Structure 1
Amino acid sequence: MTKPSQSPIMHGGAERLPIRWVNAPIPPTVISRYRVAPGKSVSLHVHTGKAENWVIIAGSGVVRIGEESIPVVEGDIVLTPPTVPHGLTNTGDIPLIFLNIVHPTGDEPITSVELDS
């Protein structure tokens, strides 16, 4: 079982949930699972060196990508490109759960900067 090594709360309001690779002792990619409580948000932040795909597996909310706000529901997938600010707010009445699939982009180091205080 691969256990997260970081804080269980990320970017202000995303609770990192355990994930288990059942047949890969060394995971082939970085995938995380998060839960955002109703009314809570993933703070606006920006990365370099990676893109992320957020797969909404439960709940509903609004994702902000740059200046655009996009409603999301179960089954939606959102691309968060490198260097573009992004965040998420759970606008529903149940926890919003999503997978975060990370894709490194080039030789640039991976960084993360919070934009909301």
Structure 2
Amino acid sequence: MIPALLVSGGDYLARETAVAGRLAATATLSSVEVILEGLPSGQAVLVPTPSLHIQRIAPGCMCCIGNLAMRVTLNRVLRRKPGLLVISLASSEHLDNIRRFLTQEPYDSLLQLADEIRL
């Protein structure tokens, strides 16, 4: 199972900085996939590398818009079988709905919701 970290709240830069800090502490991973909701602030904290893949999806509550953008992006990312998946959400408001989504089929057998950072 792929460990998944959820990061939510704060602004885009704060979330990206929190993700970068967590990744620095887990530098031994061979492959990390990061899904970032929202538009960058102009300051790139995370820079893609051969072992760090970054996917950016348009802002908007992923549970309220039917999870289509999340589902498509997540399915594409999971095909690469990363050592860690990080999902950064703009708001903590609907975090329980996202958690529920990630613990349903088919994701329940693919992901292990390991940790959470709320800003």
User: After TM superposition, is the score higher than 0.5?
Assistant: no
Larger Rg: 1
Greater share of strand: 1
Greater share of helix: 2
Given the two structures, how large is their TM-score scaled by the length of structure 1?
0.30
Higher RCO by CA contacts (8 Å cutoff, separation 6 or greater): 2
